Amino acid sequence: MEKFGKSQPVLRREDIRFLTGKGRYVDDIAPAGALFGYVVRASVAHGKISNLELDDARSLAGVHMVIGFDDLVAAGITKGLDAMQVSNRDGSKGAAPFRPILAKERVRFVGEPVAFIVADTLEMARDAGEMVFYDIDELPVHLDLAPGGEALHKDVPSNLAFDWATGDELATKVAFESAAHHVTLEVTDNRVIANSLEPRGCYAEWDGTRLHACVNGQGVWGAKSNLAKVLNLDADQVRVTNPDVGGGFGMKAMMYPETYLCAHAAMALKCPVRWYSERTEAMLSDNSGRDLVSVAELAFDENYKITAYRVNTVCNLGAYNSQVGQNIQTVLFSKVLMGTYDVQTSWLNVKGVYTNTTQVDAYRGAGRPEAIYVLERIMDRAARELGIDPWELRRRNFIAKDAFPYKTTTGETYDVGDFAKVLAHAEHSADLRGYAERKAQSLSKGKLRGQGLCYYIESILGAPSETAKVAFNDDGTVDIFVGTQSNGQGHETTFAQFLSDQTGIPYDAIYVVQGDSDQIETGGGTGGSRSATVQNNATLATVSNMIEAFTGYLADKFDTAKNDIYFDDETFRIAGSNLTPTMLDCAEMARLDGRQDLLSCKASAELEARSFPNGAHVAEVEIDPETGVVTVEHYTVVDDFGNLFNPLLVEGQVHGGVAQGIGQAINEHVVYDENGQLLTATFMDYGMPRAKDVPFMSFETESVPSTANAMGVKGCGEAGTVGALAALANAVQDALWDKGVRQADMPFTPLRVWDMLQAS
């Protein structure tokens, strides 16, 4: 394919490699002769370590190293895992208890690392793990999503990590006191496990002066700086690479103990060390997602216009702060607190609680799905209680098209939007007029049918700046170096396609280079739906520099003025000449002329503002009241992503996001028993969505180009999940409403739905 127009549905080039078994994942490329790491994990949720015996394990054949917390300290490794803190309402900082790489004196969740073993084979390391003996004096377990209980950390006596708020509490209170209508709903957002197709893994090697850590993460620069800090190295002594990564979803964006342990062992033993998680181990130790309960309130005037919104949330952090954990249900939740509705009075109060469970952090959408879920659930409830059509209630409260740019109550500035137009498109695509007939058909079969609407908006997150570098190779190919990291999104296709569009360089000649801190000077990694927008913005800046450099070169070479040369997206045009050199032609001429300086060009660029993708999700479900089984019959999405780079890849991202939303809504749920033991630690116990659970989806776009970037694009990576949760939950609630069910919370498993019907 030599050239294609912009926004063409180009197939993903990387899929050929993945589907033919040629992917290069971290466990495939570990160095020959690498030793195997194995983590001994806590088997109880809370207790004091009274004795830890490692010598028997050290004595086994094939074992090279067995370490506990004290051994790390002896090696000069005294720092723990870093995490962000939010500010409390009183201006103080949220709690920051020390999170050790290996348990120090106490364990606080089942699966917490206690010891690390390095051996010739994984089997030997496991056998040595059986020889690690430790006595734990068990302590009471705190699992309640509320302050109180046995303190996990001595400096946090009530287990209250933070008490954060935003908005105007007094003005909101006054608005509620004078409201014509007042609606309240408690909304539970259940805990889930990311369960990426490829579990976490890493390897590390040390050449005597430099450390190389290969991690299946979502970027290299955070890992590089953290490894240097914890291991007491200079930054230039650390190289981090990300190979092919089989799914991340936010969970792989953070640092975990195993990366530090492999790196320390490799340095101490002067031999490569590898570690790879098993599935149950991943379920015990990977950051979970969601896990919060909110009480939401809406105030309305006599015309059903919202006058104020109030939310009080309690969220679970797990046993420690994870890297971004405190920010998820606070700062990031607040980004889209008021959604697409024209309301200027709001109050959000969030309390974070430590419990004896695995840490909770970002999961696809990171705060925005949680915020939209709460808002769109109570919008649905308000429509029922006020006796107004839910579609009409949303239209009545939308931010008007001519009100943009619009500053929200929490300080975000929405650049553009036409929510009513998108909703009208969704109404047609979902065949709203035919719903009554479809519901009647379901009833004739003894089934309950429900329809749910969610109108979402999300804020693109992450660093607004990025760098791109383009290098022309001797063989006629071109490398583009990027600071983001694909976890399955199709970056190799997207970035090559965009560069080809802007330069005329054949798509098949462009190769994307990512995930290497030695080859890429800086980068923000992948997360927050930032990659395509921020990275391609940097590519635009790089292409501009390339055009400028080649224009000057051609002017000198052909003795003409720079103003007589222009580039038309494919070739350079030189006034008074029939010469039309391409970028590749210019590079070859420069090479022959010894102008190596022209064969590589880079630029950094920063977005002045963020984009705000939005759209409507419409779900229709059918419920068998005899069994409680929920079936998703129809699913319609109409999104506003602005201009599209590749509609095919965008649709794939939305499909994947909706599938994860269906998973959380209907199948997935983390369950701990009263002792903090994880009961859903295998796929026999933890429900995952399967092909039969996911219907064919109608996906269409109604684009309103963003003004926040030169490309007019809006991120799409997390949008499917942001919209799916409330659409599905509202559909189930709609189906159950006539049966008297007034409180329907995810997950809608057959037993839970059957119990709801029986209780009603």
pLDDT of 148 over the 60 cut: yes
> Do the strands 201-206 and 273-276 form a parallel or antiparallel pair, or are they unpaired?
antiparallel
CA dist., res. 164 & res. 92, Å (int): 10
pLDDT of 300 over the 60 cut: yes
CA dist., res. 283 & res. 679, Å (int): 10
CA dist., res. 276 & res. 202, Å (int): 6
Tens digits of residue pLDDT in 591-603: 999 999 999 999 9
Smallest CA-to-CA distance from 315 within 287, 348, 292 is with 292
Buried b (16+ CB within 10 A) or exposed e, 436-463: eebbeebeeeebbbbbbbbbbbbbbbbb
pLDDT of residue 258: 98
CA dist., res. 36 & res. 201, Å (int): 11
Distances (CA, A) of 405 to 44, 308, 416: 53, 21, 6
CA dist., res. 240 & res. 244, Å (int): 14
Q: Which residues have CB under 8 Å from 671's CB, separation 6+? A: 678, 679, 680, 685
Q: What is the mean pLDDT of residues 152-176?
A: 98
Under 8 Å between Cβ of 64 and 36: no
Residue 636: exposure state from Cβ atoms within 10 A (0-12, 13-18, ≥19): buried
Please count the residues of the chain. Answer: 760
Main-chain dihedrals φ then ψ at residue 23, nearest 5 degrees: -65, 150
pLDDT band at 4 (very low <50, low <70, confident <90, very high): very low
CA dist., res. 652 & res. 491, Å (int): 13
pLDDT of residue 6: 65
Under 8 Å between Cβ of 480 and 505: no
Half-sphere exposure of 65 (CA within 13 A, CB side): 26
pLDDT band at 341 (very low <50, low <70, confident <90, very high): very high
Q: What is the mean pLDDT of residues 546-553?
A: 98
Buried b (16+ CB within 10 A) or exposed e, 642-658: bbbbbeebbbbbbbbbb
Smallest CA-to-CA distance from 376 within 301, 309, 288 is with 309
pLDDT of residue 402: 98
pLDDT of 358 over the 70 cut: yes
pTM: 0.97
DSSP string computed for 640-699: E-BS-S-HHHHHHHHHHHHHHHHIIIII----B-TTS-BS--STTTS----GGGS--EEE
Q: Does residue 6 or residue 631 have the better pLDDT?
A: 631
Under 8 Å between Cβ of 513 and 519: yes
Tens digits of residue pLDDT in 250-268: 999 999 999 999 999 999 9
pLDDT band at 2 (very low <50, low <70, confident <90, very high): very low
Per cent of the chain over pLDDT 70 is 99
Distances (CA, A) of 17 to 10, 172, 344, 652: 16, 55, 50, 18
CA dist., res. 130 & res. 119, Å (int): 13
Smallest CA-to-CA distance from 362 within 319, 339, 333 is with 333
User: 681-686 — which CB contacts under 8 Å span 24+ positions?
Assistant: 681/280, 681/283, 681/284, 682/279, 682/280, 682/283, 683/279, 686/193, 686/195, 686/283
pLDDT of residue 94: 98
Q: How far is CA 384 from the centre of its chain?
A: 33
Smallest CA-to-CA distance from 223 within 191, 263, 188, 192 is with 263
Across 199-305, the runs of DSSP E, i.e. the strands, are 201-206, 211-215, 238-241, 273-276, 288-289, 292-300
CA dist., res. 559 & res. 524, Å (int): 42
535's enclosing H/E stretch is helix 531-557
Tens digits of residue pLDDT in 737-752: 999 999 999 999 999 9
pLDDT of residue 8: 85
SS3 state of residue 574: strand
What CA dihedral angle connects 540, 545, 550 and 552, to 10 degrees?
A: 140
Q: What is the mean pLDDT of residues 505-521?
A: 96
Q: Which residues have CB under 8 Å from 131's CB, separation 6+? A: 56, 57, 60
Smallest CA-to-CA distance from 189 within 2, 391, 415, 350 is with 350
pLDDT of residue 334: 98
pLDDT of residue 576: 87
CA dist., res. 577 & res. 754, Å (int): 78
Residue type, 469: K
Under 8 Å between Cβ of 363 and 331: no
> Which residues lie across from 605 on neighbouring strands?
466
pLDDT of 375 over the 90 cut: yes
pLDDT of residue 88: 98
